[in-house]
A and B are shown apart, each in its own frame.
Chain A
Amino acid sequence: EVQLEQSGAEVKQPGESLKISCKGSGYSFDSFWIVWLRQMPGKGLEWMGIVYPGDSDARYSPSFQGQVTMSADKSISTAYLQWSSLKASDTAMYYCAKHRRPGGGMSETFDFWGQGTLVTVSS
């Protein structure tokens, strides 16, 4: 059974750093891109970027380039999304999902999703 298990909710202050995780199981983790998506409170879904666990290659949406860093450790089947300096506007639910087909690039859709990680940034 394919599963993506995300780390728990976080409450941080502006300016702090943060790294959240997404652990995959039930499939060949290093062969499928992992995508990260943002959902701000009461809003829709936004595609942030993708990371390939096989070699940690990461591609970003222009809207998120330079704002976050995506990485992966294939030895523990885990992908990461991190911030070096959080802002209040980073408050959102963050989801990871896996691409439907192995390999490929940015133009693919997703099949399985993580349960989401709620990040709250407040002073």
Chain B
Amino acid sequence: DIQMTQSPASVSASLGDRVTISCRASQDIINHLAWFQQRPGKAPKSLIYAASSLHGGVPSKFRGSGSGTDFTLTISSLQPEDFATYYCQQYYTSPPTFGQGTRLEIK
């Protein structure tokens, strides 16, 4: 299975800040990379697919980039609703695998 490693495991930021979360795959996954947001006690929400394409209704403050093995999620102008856990997922090979998650906390 492809291993997905996210960093950092947790990050603290203030309202209005910009943060970047990294995701590294153990082998080349081209751009078959998705990002999800999970608020506490809620179901995950799909944010990005194909490394940089936003799902419908997702605000442009979320930006994905990268290809090959290294990917990033950048979130701008942090608002209270953005403080959540974020997961990356590769879907290049089966079974699809997730990173361990990055918890974004309010400073």
Residues of chain A at the chain B interface (Cβ within 8 Å): 44-47, 59, 61-63, 95, 97, 100, 105-116
Contact = CB atoms under 8 A, between A and B. Distances in A.
B100 interface: yes
Contact of B93 (A45, A62, A97, A107): A107
Q: In which size bucket is the chain B interface?
A: 20 to 34
Given A100-B49, A108-B91, A95 B43 contact: yes
B52 to A, nearest CB: 13
Interface of B: 32, 34, 36, 43-46, 49, 55-56, 87, 89, 91-101
Given A44-B87, A45-B87, A111-B55, A106 B95 contact: yes
Contacts, number: 58
A107 B96 contact: yes
A44 to B, nearest CB: 5
A71 B55 CA distance: 27
A45 B93 CA distance: 17
A109 B44 contact: no
Given A47-B95, A61-B95, A62-B95, A109 B43 contact: no
* Chain B binding surface SS class: loop
Contacts of B94: 59, 61, 105-107
A57 to B, nearest CB: 14
B98 A109 contact: no
The 10 A-B residue pairs with the shortest CB-CB distance in the complex, in nearest-first order:
A106-B94, A109-B34, A61-B95, A45-B98, A109-B91, A47-B96, A113-B43, A109-B49, A44-B101, A116-B43
* Most chain B CB within a 10 A radius of its CB, from A44, A59, A109, A110: A109
A45 B89 CA distance: 9
A107 to B, nearest CB: 5
Contacts of A61: 94-95
A110 B96 CA distance: 11
Contact of A46 (B55, B98, B99): B98
A119 to B, nearest CB: 15
A100 B43 CA distance: 17
Contacts of A95: 43-44
